[in-house]
Amino acid sequence: DTEVTQTPKHLVMGMTNKKSLKCEQHMGHRAMYWYKQKAKKPPELMFVYSYEKLSINESVPSRFSPECPNSSLLNLHLHALQPEDSALYLCASSPLTRQGAGGYTFGSGTRLTVV
Amino acid sequence: SQQGEEDPQALSIQEGENATMNCSYKTSINNLQWYRQNSGRGLVHLILIRSNEREKHSGRLRVTLDTSKKSSSLLITASRAADTASYFCATDAGGNFNKFYFGSGTKLNVKP
């Protein structure tokens, strides 16, 4: 299995809702990532998990809450989002080597619309 | 914050021609990667080049890295309509192996 699976593919939520994005990989990668991408912009790093521990938080607002229950799963819990949080949310994984992270494998993303 | 900038922002060529995209970055790196993205969906990893490497090839792709100029280039030879996509470089933050930042991207259009 050489894929990263993200669910749901599309999500519309109100500003008072709580929802979760899910990401799963079975490649044995020990680093997992959340990126946010606005239209016609590059992906922006949000969170990095290494060996199931949060290693990087790029000053993301607390209305985004990541969770890594095990080495195959990564969640992003959403609460009280704003319309400007509407974007494509991308999950990625990579192996970790002594030379650093290997190439990322990206999921196809969740397109989130906040209304 | 973005580490890399790419140029050109957009490139339009005929099928069969070569396409060259450039990436410049600001701080020292361990690794640089190139990715392709179709229609705003997931990104596909193309090539990873390490800071001690100068050139890598993969099929019709050739990547060069000049750490003294803090720049990299991606060459796609004999382009095809299916190569139409956005191309991004991604660099780590030198001391942090896991922290990759994406450049602004080049939108390539290959006309049949």
Q: φ and ψ at B70, to 5 degrees?
A: 50, 55
Instruction: Find out whether A31 and A95 touch, Cβ atoms under 8 Å.
Output: yes
Please compute Rg for chain A using Cα positions: 14
- Asked if the Cβ–Cβ distance from A100 to B2 is below 8 Å, we say no
pLDDT tens digits for range A63-81:
999 999 999 999 999 999 9
Is the bond leading into B8 cis (omega within 30 degrees of zero)?
yes
Q: Which of A2, A40, A45 to mutate to test the interface with B (most CBs of B within 10 A)?
A: A45
- Asked if the Cβ–Cβ distance from A45 to B103 is below 8 Å, we say no
pLDDT score, position B42: 85
pLDDT score, position B27: 86
CA angle B85, B16, B5 (to 5 degrees): 40
At A56, the pLDDT band (50, 70, 90 cuts) reads confident
pLDDT score, position A48: 92
Residue appearing with tokens 């990299």: B72
pLDDT score, position A98: 66
Instruction: Find out whether B102 and B45 touch, Cβ atoms under 8 Å.
Output: no
Partner-chain residue, chosen from A41, A103, A108, that has the shortest CB–CB distance to B45: A103
Q: How high does pLDDT run on average in chain B?
A: 91
Asked if residue B2 has pLDDT above 60, the reply is no
Q: Which residue of B has its CA nearest to A108?
A: B42
A64: closest CA of chain B, how far (Å): 18
pLDDT score, position B1: 47
Give the number of other CB atoms < 10 A from CB of residue A23.
26
What does DSSP say about strands B4-7 and B19-25: parallel, antiparallel, or unpaired? antiparallel
